[in-house]
Structure 1
Amino acid sequence: MGKVLGDVLGLAAGVAVSPLPIIAVILVLATPRGRLNGVLFTVGWILGLAALGAVMLAIASPARASAHNHPATWVGALKLAIGLFLVVFGALQWHRRPKDPSQARLPKWMSAIDRLTPVKVFALGLALAALNAKNAPLTIAAGAAIGSAGLPLGQQIASLAVFVVIATLGLLAPLGVFLLGGARAKATLGNWKDWAARHNVAVMAVLFFVLGLKLLGDGIGVLVS
């Protein structure tokens, strides 16, 4: 189990530091029902990660994804494909990043967050976790790594739980500041949001490129061994 955790912790950290969900939760916390909406957004995020990871566990179960305690060929091909996608996506993001970070613009849908109902806030957290093109590949890769390691079901679930917890730390930090930070919380979260907005593209570009190279190496290792 230790080796699997070593494989997925980097992927979980990549999801955790994704700037857009962090910006989204800060905007959610600034709504009139910030406390409720922040919790609902975070719960939706956790369920989205867990559901997508569980789907991959079901697909990459030990009986079908691991042969003689070695990942099956299709698992290596999946990691190779995801790694290639992340490397190319990261390179494109870097090329398209604003030359002046102060000129960075947030996605238009974020301007409507303050008008969302609690149910829609929950759905937004779910979607950003499970359907986001920037986070879903990392969760899929983590689920494949866990499911292909030949672990007992209990250890698979525990490994996925660790992944989800680490991947949620980026949201739990703003939520904790909001709930416990008192009068200074608003200014602190505003500074975090501004920094994340300015450097969102550059951070994700570097992150995806590095994680993509790792997955490429993992995939090649599975296919040639």
Structure 2
Amino acid sequence: MNQLIGDALPLALGIAISPIPVIATILMLLSPEARRTSIGFLLGWTAGIIVAVVVFTLLSSILPAEQSDATRIANALVKLVLGALLLLLAVRQWRGRPRGGAEPKLPKWMSAIDTMTAGRAALLAFALAAINPKNLLLAASAGILLGQAASAGAAVAAIAVFVVIAASTVAAPVVAYLAASSRMTGVLESLRAWLVRNNTTIMTILLLVMGVSVIGKGIAAF
């Protein structure tokens, strides 16, 4: 199981470091309905990660247990394709970066966060975790790895660790705000501004590293 967790850890960190959901969480914590919307967002984000990684883990686990040449090659090719897609997303992210001192563009839905209900926040977070192409590719890559667990218990434990790490950067500001809301406003605003400025760079490096890592695992599987 330790090997599985070690292999999936970079992918969990990849989801955790994604700036957009963290920025959305901070904006919710600065909104009039901070407690309700942030908790709804955290629950939806966690649920989306669980669904995505479990679905791909189950799909991976139905592959024949006996590692024939055909099965081994199929697994390797899947990893190579996922890694290549992550690299393509990295290139696309970098090509779309702000130029000439232009202000970074954030998704239009962020302008509606102040009026968002807890239910809508949960649905938004679920979509960002389970449907957004970047996170979906990372979850799919993790599921391919976790589906190779020797037992169901090992897979469940590895998935639990994966989810905790992947959801940690959304959970941390929510928990901190609930514990000490009066002291968190300035910190959250500074963090939001930094993430907005560096969103493209963070995501490009993240996708590049994850893509190379997954491709490396695919090559090693041949």
Shift of 1:74: 2.5
Counterpart code for 1:125: A
The 10-residue stretch of structure 1 (171-180 or 119-128) with the greater mean CA deviation from structure 2: 171-180
Q: How does 1:132-211 map to 2 (within 5 A)?
A: 132-147=132-147, 149-211=148-210
User: CA distance change for structure 1 residues 212 and 155 in 2, over 3 Å: closer, same or farther?
Assistant: same
User: CA distance change for structure 1 residues 115 and 65 in 2, over 3 Å: closer, same or farther?
Assistant: farther
Shift of 1:180: 2.2
Answer whether contact 2:80 2:219 (CA < 8 A) is retained. Answer: yes
Percent identity at matched positions?
35
1:14 aligned residue: 14
User: CA distance change for structure 1 residues 34 and 4 in 2, over 3 Å: closer, same or farther?
Assistant: same
Shift of 1:181: 3.0
> Unpaired segments of 5 or more residues in structure 2?
none
Q: How does 1:35-54 map to 2 (within 5 A)?
A: 35-54=35-54
> Unpaired segments of 5 or more residues in structure 1?
none
Q: How does 1:75-94 map to 2 (within 5 A)?
A: 75-94=75-94
Counterpart code for 1:111: S
When normalised by structure 1's length, the TM-score is 0.92
Counterpart code for 2:202: V
Q: Distance in 1 between matches of 2:40 and 2:30?
A: 14
When normalised by structure 2's length, the TM-score is 0.93
Q: How does 1:40-119 map to 2 (within 5 A)?
A: 40-61=40-61, 64=63, 66-68=65-67, 72-99=72-99, 103-119=103-119
The 10-residue stretch of structure 1 (28-37 or 123-132) with the greater mean CA deviation from structure 2: 28-37
Counterpart code for 2:198: H
Q: Distance in 1 between matches of 2:206 and 2:24?
A: 19
Q: RMSD of the TM alignment (CA)? A: 1.9
The 10-residue stretch of structure 1 (94-103 or 46-55) with the greater mean CA deviation from structure 2: 94-103
Answer whether contact 2:11 2:142 (CA < 8 A) is retained. Answer: yes
Shift of 1:152: 0.4
